[in-house]
Amino acid sequence: MAAPSNDKNLVDEMEAAFQGCFSTLIAQDHLNVVDSQETRTSVEQSIQRFLDVSKELESYFLQRQQMLSVTRPELPIKEEVEELKQELQRKETLIQQHQANIQKWLAVLQQSDGGVPPSPQQQQQQQQAALQQSPRQMGPRAMGFPPHQPVPLSGPLAHLEHAASSIGGNFDRR
What string of pLDDT tens digits covers the 174 residues of the chain?
A: 445 454 469 899 999 999 988 887 777 665 565 577 877 888 899 999 999 999 999 999 999 988 988 898 888 889 999 999 999 999 999 999 999 999 999 988 888 876 555 667 777 777 776 666 544 444 555 545 555 555 566 666 666 676 766 675 455 555
pLDDT value at residue 76: 84
C-alpha–C-alpha distance, residues 51 and 135, integer Å: 51
Say if CB 102 and CB 82 are below 8 A apart: no
pLDDT value at residue 30: 52
pLDDT value at residue 43: 86
- Helices 36-71 & 10-26 angle (0-180, nearest 10): 160
What SS3 state is found at 75? helix
C-alpha–C-alpha distance, residues 144 and 94, integer Å: 23
C-alpha–C-alpha distance, residues 69 and 80, integer Å: 13
Q: Position 55: which residue type?
A: K
pLDDT value at residue 172: 54
Rg (C-alpha) for the chain, rounded Å, is 34
Q: What is the DSSP letter of 133?
A: S
29: enclosing H helix or E strand: helix 28-31
pLDDT value at residue 31: 56
